[in-house]
Structure 1
Amino acid sequence: MTAPADPSGARPQEDRGGARAALAGLTTRGRSFLAAGVAAAVCAYVLGQGDLLRVGLLLAVLPLVCALVLQRTRYRVASSRRLSPGRVPAGSEARVHLRMENVSRLPTGLLMLQDQVPYVLGPRPRFVLDRVEAGGRREVSYRVRSDLRGRYPLGPLQLRLSDPFGMCELTRSFATHDDLTVVPRVEPLPPVGLSGDAKGYGEGRQRSLALSGEDDVIPRGYRYGDDLRRVHWRSTARHGELMVRREEQPQRARCSVLLDTRYLAYEGAGPDSSFEWAVSGAASVLTHMIERGFSVRLLTDTGASAPDEGGDGFAGAAQESAETAGLMLDTLAVVDHSDGEGLSRAFDQVRGGREGLFVAFLGDLDEEQAAVVARMRQRVGAAVAFVLDPVQWAGGPGARPGDEAAHRLRLLQEAGWTALAVAPGSSVAEAWRRADQERVGSGPAPGTTGGWS
């Protein structure tokens, strides 16, 4: 079986080894026929029975001929795979569409398809195509589902050919595969009060003109279509050409989300673990703030950030909201535990006065790490912390945080954080609403703005 020069690269790879590969493809039936034929031929030689020898040769030759014919069969086929959708939330289904096309002048025989699928997505799908005419095509589809986020490869697709007698089966594999991205669950969050520096589109601060007067205005050259009422005559006289005042540009407010990924800060594993709750919470907050017009940034305890290059480190100001949300969700889809023991690297990434709203999802904190988080409050605007105590999560729904965790919360609250413990079974929207209620009840810290979102 061969394949055309498909521009997508989806073509089967030829097995190497020729006759050896064909013999290795003999089925149980083919091996039984071959063994029976050899045994009959030996017995015929010993006993001097010519008729038995002919029967033995027939039994032995039949599977060899089938293997040779099948190995020399040349089918020209092409395949393609389409994911719908290519990015799916954990716990939701995606459909995979496979398309097989016979681009040769001869019809194919029986084709058996098997796509390689990771076990977490379900069993490997298998399909049987009876006969594909010359130039014909067949389409099949199957569903995949995973409760665990991640990036999973689908493929390569395998074709299994067999002869009409079932004596031999040969497998051909296509070279390409596709990736299915399973992103964390995103919960819609309720809108809460906006004020101060935490505003997004339409309400944010503006880049104002200089306060000292019109002389400090930075003009630019006149462009076709500019309003003549914006012509800056003093600069025009100075430069000898028409100059206009720059337009005031709205500045998007910023939001940074810190995700604590330290392995020692969490206990348990699986979709219902505290770490997965923190990842889902970070995804929900980032998506919520992007929808409200904020520029966002994702930080981890390792010091890594997304986006990791270009600009000022925030995404959203020059990108479409859908692209920014996709970038954040793709990053969170593959985030894993780190081997770090502290949050000092994250502290170094926090730049004073430039973070805007700061939301942290934290695991277990000792005295030293609680002090590091408390110092972060001095570098950010409004600050909210969701703390997931391993002792509380080990106790199940209804459990209360341990004494040490309660002490750490008080330290953060005294430093100006809106900090609260997250109980097992709580939804992200519920925790978001509780944080807003606690912020309103306690009031803003001295010298800070009151709103956050």
Structure 2
Amino acid sequence: MTGAEAQGPRPEREDGRGPVRTALSGLTTRGRSFLAAGVAAAVCAYVLGQEDLLRVGLLLAVLPLVAALVLYRTKYRVTGSRRLTPSRVPAGAEARVHLRVDNVSRLPTGLLMLQDRVPYQLGPRPRFVLDRVEAGGRREVSYRVRSDLRGRYPLGPLQLRLTDPFGMCELTRSFSAYDTLTVIPAVEPLPPVRLSGEWAGYGDGRGRSQSLSGEDDVIPRGYRHGDDLRRVHWRSTARYGELMVRREEQPQRAHCTVLLDTRRLAYEGSGPDSAFEWAVSAAASTLAHMLERGFGVRLLTDEGGASAGEGADGFAGTGQDAAESAGLLLDTLAVLDHSDGAGLSRAFDALNGGAEGLLVAFLGELDEQQAAMVARMRRRSGVAVAFLLDGPGWDLTGELMDVPDTRERRARGLREAGWTVVDVDRGAALPELWRRAAGRPYEPDRVTVPGQGG
């Protein structure tokens, strides 16, 4: 949850208008009509010499002016706060915004109209009418927002519209604080399968390796209470004259690099159902899945590293760091957009300088040069899996186009270089493709009903 509080309200003077012009600009249609009718009646009374009509005209003209002056000079001490539940939501999910208005003055307020500014992607602008708020009283309202598109959306500032009892004048007073709603990519749970060649060990994402390999190269240490006597190194014990044991095998963290192709020319279409949005959501699901399994993960794009706050070996995937790392990566993916680059050379350079390990790539359409570069990336990784998004197959008209032969040649070239290639068509489910990458057929969840055979 996040919250913001602002003191106010204060009149808006965006164009530097004076108090008189500010008060008159708040006249409603009713107030302007009364003012125009009063002026017209006064002119007619002067021409016709009718004193009674002149009094009526003056009354009609003065009433909206007095209402505007009184409303402008009204000094309500009102505080407003906003609370998001939650402040980070997946695309397509709803968040609730709670608004609270407190009257901290000694006088009751009049009719208040509450309005919050929201981007059009989150829906219509919410408006509420609040009746008289007593001194020291409060009012709470809430509304829901939803977006199918990733991004960071500002909420606010909160606005109060004050009106007089006759509806002659209406002034807007604004708070200064605002909040931010983060819409992250949708994350799908992936099946716990092991990709071909993935390290084994304790857990699913770690391996063990000795510090040095040969018996003569073992670096012993002094015996400590509780050490296993089977680990005693007798040669070193005889040399140093005290009991020595072999050092324990050092755990080595497994690494996973997720490469996301963001080139604009590599994808067709736009919107929440486009190929690019599918790739972003798939990358987010892969990163979250690998963090849960204890991997150290790294996010790369065609422009190089994409994550701030990342360590030399990527983000940690154990303990409490896993949740924090997942949050940072999802926040990065929430605002990731197309790049104007034409190649994957920066990603290739970044992989050459990084640690070896599992490489999972989500790629758009590749030409011959970029396909050859992706094939060379395999040399720096133990296992490489490429999800190729078929551009023509993602045609948003709904008609599946023929796959060109060039795409088959690109995929065959990657397979020959050692990649595991999975073709992605529109509407494909990531868990099914993940099983296919591991060489297993897709097995939907089954429910067994007691008492029935089968």
Query: TM-score band (shorter)?
Result: 0.7 to 0.9
- Map 1:32-111 onto structure 2 (within 5 A): 32-111=33-112
Deviation at 1:312, TM superposition (A): 3.2
Contact preservation (8 Å) 2:291, 2:316: no
Residue among 431, 436, 439 paired with 1:437:
439
Change (3 A) 1:24 1:218: farther
- CA offsets 1:196-255 (integer angstroms, 9 cap, x no match): 5535863522363445679974979x9xxx95759x9x99xx9xxxx9998765332111
What is the aligned partner in structure 2 of residue 412 from structure 1? 414
Change (3 A) 1:63 1:362: same
Contact preservation (8 Å) 2:5, 2:80: no
What is the aligned partner in structure 2 of residue 122 from structure 1? 123
Do structure 1's residue 354 and structure 2's residue 351 form an aligned pair?
A: no
Deviation at 1:184, TM superposition (A): 1.1
Change (3 A) 1:196 1:403: closer
Residue among 9, 14, 17 paired with 1:12:
9
What is the aligned partner in structure 1 of residue 404 from structure 2? 402
Change (3 A) 1:429 1:8: same
What is the aligned partner in structure 2 of residue 333 from structure 1? 334
Q: In 2, Cα distance between the equivalents of 1:247 and 1:172?
A: 68
Contact preservation (8 Å) 2:151, 2:335: yes
Deviation at 1:429, TM superposition (A): 1.1
Deviation at 1:346, TM superposition (A): 0.5
AA aligned opposite 1:337: H
- Map 1:307-318 onto structure 2 (within 5 A): 307=308, 309-316=310-317
Contact preservation (8 Å) 1:256, 1:356: yes
Deviation at 1:106, TM superposition (A): 1.1
Contact preservation (8 Å) 1:34, 1:59: yes
Change (3 A) 1:399 1:421: farther
What is the aligned partner in structure 2 of residue 179 from structure 1? 180
AA aligned opposite 2:393: Q
Change (3 A) 1:308 1:258: farther
Q: In 1, Cα distance between the equivalents of 2:399 and 2:247?
A: 57
What is the aligned partner in structure 2 of residue 344 from structure 1? 345
Q: In 1, Cα distance between the equivalents of 2:100 and 2:82?
A: 6
What is the aligned partner in structure 2 of residue 425 from structure 1? 427
What is the aligned partner in structure 1 of residue 452 from structure 2? none
- CA offsets 1:169-202 (integer angstroms, 9 cap, x no match): 0001111111111111111111112675535863
Q: In 2, Cα distance between the equivalents of 1:280 and 1:307?
A: 19
Contact preservation (8 Å) 1:10, 1:80: no
Change (3 A) 1:343 1:155: same
Change (3 A) 1:145 1:290: same
- Map 1:11-410 onto structure 2 (within 5 A): 11-16=8-13, 17-193=18-194, 197-199=198-200, 202=203, 204-206=206-208, 208-211=210-213, 217=219, 250-307=251-308, 309-316=310-317, 320-351=321-352, 354-394=355-395, 396=398, 401-410=403-412
Runs of 5+ unmatched residues, structure 1 = 1-5, 440-453
Q: Alignment length, in residue pairs? A: 425
Contact preservation (8 Å) 2:359, 2:385: yes
SS at match of 2:362: strand
What is the aligned partner in structure 2 of residue 448 from structure 1? none
- CA offsets 1:239-291 (integer angstroms, 9 cap, x no match): xxxx9998765332111100000000011111111111111111111111111
Contact preservation (8 Å) 2:296, 2:314: no
Q: In 1, Cα distance between the equivalents of 2:420 and 2:111?
A: 66
Runs of 5+ unmatched residues, structure 2 = 442-454
Contact preservation (8 Å) 2:256, 2:359: yes
Return the TM-score normalized by structure 2: 0.85
AA aligned opposite 2:301: T
Contact preservation (8 Å) 1:41, 1:57: yes
Deviation at 1:322, TM superposition (A): 1.3
Return the TM-score normalized by structure 1: 0.86
What is the aligned partner in structure 1 of residue 449 from structure 2? none
Contact preservation (8 Å) 1:298, 1:307: no
Deviation at 1:13, TM superposition (A): 3.6
Deviation at 1:362, TM superposition (A): 0.4
Contact preservation (8 Å) 1:197, 1:205: no
- Larger CA deviation: 132-141 vs 360-369: 132-141
Q: In 2, Cα distance between the equivalents of 1:170 and 1:249?
A: 70
Contact preservation (8 Å) 1:253, 1:356: yes
SS at match of 2:177: coil
Q: In 2, Cα distance between the equivalents of 1:318 and 1:178?
A: 30
Change (3 A) 1:200 1:181: farther
Q: In 1, Cα distance between the equivalents of 2:201 and 2:22?
A: 64
- CA offsets 1:336-363 (integer angstroms, 9 cap, x no match): 1100000001100003671311000000
Q: In 2, Cα distance between the equivalents of 1:246 and 1:134?
A: 73
Deviation at 1:436, TM superposition (A): 1.5
Task: Please provide the CA RMSD for this pair.
Answer: 3.1
Deviation at 1:88, TM superposition (A): 0.9
Q: In 1, Cα distance between the equivalents of 2:216 and 2:256?
A: 33
AA aligned opposite 2:44: C
Q: In 2, Cα distance between the equivalents of 1:50 and 1:411?
A: 98
Contact preservation (8 Å) 2:292, 2:317: no
Deviation at 1:397, TM superposition (A): 6.8
SS at match of 1:43: helix
Q: In 2, Cα distance between the equivalents of 1:305 and 1:316?
A: 18
Change (3 A) 1:115 1:355: farther
Deviation at 1:434, TM superposition (A): 1.6
